[in-house]
């Protein structure tokens, strides 16, 4: 990676001059064409960090947790050795986030589960003896060579960004001209069948039938419910290369998938691999350039950029909300979308990294809101909404075919687990999308109406106790076990919900008839149950065993309702955090990402880094994926958010720059980091000192920034003038910024270089993947 002294310039010039201070985001994001410095390193800062972060394989990956992965939010392919034939074939999985069953009578985990599609095997003529692969992040493309005892197979592979086609180009040597592709349809049955007993009456779908249509082979998979999915493929030979084109289509209730799949393959196969790659790469290059982050820990920096690649491979606004394994379905007991933690953690990083185009959560909750009414008992459906633990992409749980007829339990009545708070927590993600864009349509059309009904469900059950305070009957704190009165998971979400509704109504100019009740909840709600160890699960259940989930700590993170404003509050958070992670046994990866972010809230950068170190050492797999009983994608993505929380926080109306950096991170660069209030933050730290901070306002929201620059500062706008400022206390200043204006903050008299460039790594680190 180039050092900062090599001028990988985004924008240069004196503090009052260069391109960094002129124009809006698009003008600031212009970079030089892709080029190289005299020593061969990339001159473009994004190319530099992305080339450095590429995953490499010089040993054969044997599982999904080791191999390359490609995707576009819909179609996904994980690549690794064919199990049981590791030296004879390479598997290219073919899975799709829209492919699911449609038998709600068997619930979301069987009857509505995502269904496996199948895989292609690349079968060389000879025995595999070696490989040299590289997953090029900037191009979202796998390249490299497979070596056998008869020759070589040079390959390039991508899942096209917009055409949703898997294209694999293979150039064989003379001895490998007879290699072949073979498709293996999977049994169309819920992956949970390998882990749990089948429900009474449930059976797998009939086998797929392979047919040929005008030179295109198609595996047509009918479903017992009607409709089905189809995998179409075609191989084209051009000169010395052969290119495989694959597309998957799903349709329900009509059986139109085969025609659509064939048409997509015909259209794509009319283009060369290079023809497809040009438009594919252009989109990916633009994607990465929406933000920039470089830090001196080479391993973590690479990990971070891989998570940005992974997120855009797994998410699109118009794609289904990510299921537990993203588009890369593998054998798993969790073959659908999980709403009591997984979804929330999967999407947090899109805000700071400036990628709201990936926000499927806001889109799905708004689009399928009518299904949320059906997940509460019938007598509450007129004014309440809820979301159960698991749903399909249309937010359907399948409980309508059960004895209860609904998915969200009734507090105090439904054993065993009335898990009520999931929708409110999901709407916190929507609130983050609003706050990071200040897009009033999100607030008006999605957040306010849905949150109003989510909170209203709680209000049906909130009752005064003998102490005169408002109490909740027994509900369930995700994953701890046992129902409890005054459950902290629910009290914390209810408190945030009422506060947010009042703020939203004021912003929207709405005089809501429920506002007095929301105020009453905030005034009379029982205190969060605590004991000498910190926050309890609820009034009836102390925190007394190892527990991976921070469901009892949501008021601390991510809600920021409790932030350590007073010494007693800070001590309570510290005591609760230490007690939570002090029980070994059930801790999992996202335990440590949550602990890292809570430590960052407290300004403890060393602790945050240590927790991330535990995550990397104990849980993260060679390709940065993560597993428990099966593949789950949320933990590595939430680790990227923990890095965000160390670099910038913007809760409570204050942008905090570099609030929790460990001492070893003496140099750091961030550019166009999106904050609450719709600001784009750029800042550089050199030698342990923050040299400059720049904020660009997209919405004209109030601007308060804790910049971290020691001593007196100067503030200049994009024209070199001094805007109105005021001391906001606690090291923060208030700057008068209108929409489209920017402010540069420096130490008084300083004129720092405004170059945005990668920082020098503190020490060498191995690449991700499986290098030699």
Q: Is the alpha carbon torsion for 535, 538, 542, 543 positive or negative?
A: negative
Residue 27 confidence (pLDDT) above 60: no
Using the predicted structure, report yes or no on whether residue 40 has a pLDDT greater than 50.
no
Instruction: Reply yes or no on whether the pLDDT at 333 is more than 60.
Output: yes
What average pLDDT does this structure show over 480-505? 96
Mean pLDDT of 575-586: 93
How far, in Å, CA of 141 to CA of 166, rounded?
11
Question: 3-state SS string over 710-741?
Answer: CCCEEEEECCCCCCCEEEEECCEEEECCCCCC
pTM of the model: 0.95
Please write the tens of the pLDDT for every residue from 412-443.
997 788 999 999 999 999 999 999 999 999 99
pLDDT of 414 reads: 79
Residue 462, φ and ψ in degrees, nearest 5: -70, 125
Range 557-574 average pLDDT? 98
- What is the mean pLDDT of the segment spanning 501-511? 98
Q: What's the burial of 519, exposed, middle or buried (CB within 10 Å: 0-12/13-18/19+)?
A: middle
Average pLDDT value for the chain: 93
Distance, CA of 733 to CA of 612 (rounded, Å): 31
381 backbone φψ class: left, alpha, beta (φ>0; ψ -120 to 50)? alpha
- Average pLDDT of the segment spanning 638-660: 98
pLDDT 10s digits, 451-466: 999 999 999 999 999 9
Q: What is the mean pLDDT of residues 726-736?
A: 96
- In Å, how far from its chain's centre is CA 448? 23
- Chain centre to alpha carbon of residue 397: 22
Give the pLDDT of residue 400. 58
Instruction: Classify domain 75-288 by CATH number.
Output: 2.70.98.50
- From CA 97, how far away is CA 319, in angstroms rounded? 8
3-state secondary structure 212-264: EECCEEEEEEECCCCCEEEEEEEEEEECCEEEEEEEEEEECCCCCHHHHHHHH
User: How many other C-beta atoms can be found within 10 angstroms of the C-beta atom of residue 275?
Assistant: 12
Tokens (6 digits) for 324? 């537990």
Q: Is the pLDDT of residue 648 over 90?
A: yes
Under the banding of pLDDT at 50, 70 and 90, the label for residue 35 is very low
Q: What is the pLDDT of residue 403?
A: 58
The mean pLDDT of 111-130, rounded to a whole number, is: 98
Q: Does 499 have pLDDT greater than 80? A: yes
In which band, very low, low, confident or very high, does the pLDDT at 402 lie, cut at 50, 70 and 90? Answer: low
Domain segments of the chain: what residues? Answer: 75-288
């Amino acid at each position: 990676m180039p050092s900062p002294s090599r001028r990988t310039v985004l924008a240069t010039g004196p503090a009052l001059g260069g391109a960094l201070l002129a124009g809006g985001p698009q003008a600031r994001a212009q970079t030089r064409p892709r080029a190289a410095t005299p020593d061969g390193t990339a001159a473009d800062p994004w190319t530099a960090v992305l080339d450095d972060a590429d995953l490499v394989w010089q040993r054969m990956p044997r599982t999904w947790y080791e191999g390359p992965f490609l995707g576009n939010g819909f179609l996904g392919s994980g690549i690794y050795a064919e199990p049981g034939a590791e030296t004879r074939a390479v598997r290219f999985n073919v899975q799709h986030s829209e492919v699911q069953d449609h038998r709600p009578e068997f619930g979301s985990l069987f009857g509505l589960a995502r269904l496996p599609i199948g895989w292609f095997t690349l079968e060389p003529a000879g025995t595999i003896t070696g490989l040299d692969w590289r997953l090029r992040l900037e191009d979202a493309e796998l390249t490299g060579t497979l070596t056998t005892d008869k020759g070589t197979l040079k390959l390039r592979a991508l899942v096209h960004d917009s055409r949703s086609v898997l294209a694999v180009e293979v150039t064989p040597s003379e001895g490998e001209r007879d290699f072949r592709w073979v498709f293996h349809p999977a049994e169309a049955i819920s992956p949970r069948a390998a882990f749990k007993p089948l429900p009474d009456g449930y059976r797998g779908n009939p086998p797929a039938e392979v047919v040929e249509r005008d030179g295109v082979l198609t595996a047509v998979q009918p479903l017992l419910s009607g409709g089905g999915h189809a995998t179409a493929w075609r191989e084209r030979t051009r000169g010395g290369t052969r290119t495989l084109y694959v597309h998957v289509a799903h349709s329900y209730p009509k059986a139109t998938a085969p025609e659509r799949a064939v048409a997509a393959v015909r259209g794509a196969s009319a283009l060369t691999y290079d023809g497809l790659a040009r438009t594919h790469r252009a989109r990916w290059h633009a994607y990465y350039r929406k933000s920039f982050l470089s830090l001196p820990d080479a391993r973590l920096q690479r990990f971070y950029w891989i998570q940005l690649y992974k997120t855009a491979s797994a998410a699109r606004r118009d794609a289904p909300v990510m299921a537990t394994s993203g588009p890369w379905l593998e054998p798993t007991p969790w073959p659908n979308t999980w709403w009591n933690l997984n979804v929330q953690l999967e999407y947090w990083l899109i805000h700071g990294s400036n990628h709201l185009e990936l926000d499927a959560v806001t889109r799905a909750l708004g689009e399928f809101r009518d299904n949320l009414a059906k997940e509460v008992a019938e007598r509450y459906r007129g004014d309440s909404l809820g979301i159960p633990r698991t749903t399909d992409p249309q937010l359907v749980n399948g409980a309508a075919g059960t004895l209860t007829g609904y998915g969200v339990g009734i507090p105090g009545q439904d054993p065993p687990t009335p898990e009520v708070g999931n929708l409110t927590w999901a709407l916190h993600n929507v609130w983050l999308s609003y706050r990071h864009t200040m897009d009033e349509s999100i607030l008006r059309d999605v957040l306010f109406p849905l949150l109003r009904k989510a909170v209203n469900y709680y209000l049906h059950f909130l009752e005064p106790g003998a102490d005169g305070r408002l109490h909740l009957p027994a509900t369930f704190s995700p994953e701890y076990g046992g129902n409890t009165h005054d459950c902290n998971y629910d009290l914390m979400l209810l408190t945030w919900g009422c506060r947010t509704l009042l703020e939203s109504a004021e912003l929207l100019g709405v005089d809501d008839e429920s506002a007095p009740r929301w105020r009453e909840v905030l005034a009379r709600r029982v205190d969060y149950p605590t004991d000498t160890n910190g926050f309890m699960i609820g009034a009836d259940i102390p925190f007394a065993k190892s527990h991976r989930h921070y469901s009892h700590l949501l008021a601390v993170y991510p809600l920021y309702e409790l932030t350590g404003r007073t010494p007693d509050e800070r001590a309570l958070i510290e005591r609760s955090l230490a007690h939570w992670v002090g029980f070994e046994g059930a801790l999992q990866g996202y335990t440590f990402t949550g602990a890292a972010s809570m430590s960052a809230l407290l300004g403890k950068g060393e602790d945050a880094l240590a927790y991330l170190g535990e995550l990397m050492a104990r849980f993260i797999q060679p390709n940065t994926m993560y597993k428990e009983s099966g593949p789950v994608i949320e933990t590595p993505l939430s680790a990227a958010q923990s890095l965000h929380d160390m670099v910038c926080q913007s809760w409570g109306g204050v942008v905090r720059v570099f609030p929790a950096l460990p001492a070893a991170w003496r140099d750091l660069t961030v550019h166009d980091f999106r904050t609450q209030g719709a600001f784009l933050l750029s800042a550089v730290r050199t030698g342990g000192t923050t040299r400059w901070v720049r904020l660009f306002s997209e919405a004209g929201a109030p601007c308060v920034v804790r910049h971290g620059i020691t001593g007196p500062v100067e503030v200049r706008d994009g024209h070199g003038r001094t805007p109105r400022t005021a001391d906001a206390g606690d090291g923060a200043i208030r700057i008068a910024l209108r929409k489209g204006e920017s402010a540069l903050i420096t130490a008084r008299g300083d004129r720092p270089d405004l170059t945005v460039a990668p920082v020098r790594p503190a020490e060498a680190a191995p690449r991700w993947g499986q290098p030699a």
